[in-house]
Amino acid sequence: MKLYSCPYYMIKKILFILLVPLFLSVGLAALIKVKSPDPHAVYIDNIELKNYLIIDARSIEEYKENHITNAMHADEIEGVKKHIKNHLLRKPIILVYCNERCPYSRHFSKQIREELKQENVFYLKGGYESWFKSNSGKDKL
């Protein structure tokens, strides 16, 4: 009996041919750390700021120095609660930002979603710097 005519050998060969590329692609994806897009990240080019309750999560000193027009300062949940309570809409769309390399806005927006049960909470990808560069310091109001 020839080795090539054995059904077991053929199945093994077919599985090898099909599975090797799969394992290689999964391995490569793990090596280069492919990430799926974050559904809560918002890019400055895609938004109109007047549609958001804007929360500046940077330090109070940075906020006082310069901030996005109509942004409210809050770097903790209690401050956000106050701003939501004073907002015209009961469930506003909230946009949180901090500095470009600061991961706090992403974590803070998640905390707002979970603790305050607010569904429409996003963070500005690239932070304050992306807004400033995109608008040369002028809002899209």
Q: What is the pLDDT of residues 91-122, one digit of tens each?
A: 788 999 998 878 888 999 999 999 989 888 99
Which ranges of 59-126 would DSSP assign to H, the alpha helix? 60-65, 77-86, 104-115
Full-model pTM: 0.66
Helix (H) or strand (E) holding 130: helix 127-135
| Pair of tokens at residue 22 | 């799969």
34-81 confidence digits (pLDDT tens): 455 778 887 777 677 777 899 999 999 999 998 988 899 998 888 888
